[in-house]
């Protein structure tokens, strides 16, 4: 995965969660499946998406929440 693809992937993840704020809670697994499909042409794998989620949570751009199951959200 190129740096450019990685950047696009991270932006797509944040933008998806932003778009559905207060409408839908995305489990990390949902994001992985969604992004794997969306970026399949760029050769993005499950592990790439997991790695992107890790970087986004490590940098504080996304946080985890829990309501019956774990989900990803934007920081309050």
Partner 1 sequence: MSKKHQTPLLDELKKGKWPSFVREIERAAEKSEMTDDLLGQVEQSYREKVVHWKHGGMVGVKGYGSGIVGRFSDLPEKYPGIKEFHTVRVNQTAGFFYTSDMLRKMVDIGEKHASALFNFHGSTGDIQLLGAKTSELETIFQEYTKLGFDLGGSGSALRTPSCCVGKARCEFANFDSMHMCDGITQAFQDEMHRPVFNYKFKFKFSACGNDCTASIARADLSVIGTWKDDIRIDQEAVKDYGKKFNLHQYVIDKCPTKCMSYSDEGGLKIENSNCSRCMHCINTMPKALRPGTKGGATILIGAKAPMVSGPRLSMVLVPFYDVEEDAKNDYAWFKDLISKIWEFWDEYGVSRERIGELIQRVGVGNFIESIGLEPLPEMVANPRGNPFVLYEEYVEADEEQKG
Which positions from 32 through 61 interact with partner 1, judged by CB under 8 A?
A: 32, 50, 53-54, 57-58, 60
Please, which residues have CB within 8 angstroms of residue 40's CB and are 6 or more apart in sequence? none
Helix ranges (H only) for the chain are 3-19, 28-38, 46-58
Count of residues of this chain found to bind partner 1 when the rule CB under 8 A is applied = 20
User: Site for partner 1 (CB under 8 A): which residue of 29, 34, 38, 42?
Assistant: 29
Interface residue list for partner 1 (CB under 8 A): 27-29, 32, 50, 53-54, 57-58, 60, 63-70, 73, 76
């Amino acid at each position: 995965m190129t740096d450019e693809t990685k950047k696009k992937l991270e932006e797509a993840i944040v933008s998806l969660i932003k778009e559905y704020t207060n409408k839908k809670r995305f489990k990390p697994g949902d994001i992985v499946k969604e992004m794997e499909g969306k970026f399949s042409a760029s050769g993005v794998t499950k592990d790439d998406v997991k790695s992107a989620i890790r970087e986004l949570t490590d940098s504080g751009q996304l946080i985890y929440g829990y309501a019956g199951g774990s989900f990803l959200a934007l920081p309050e």
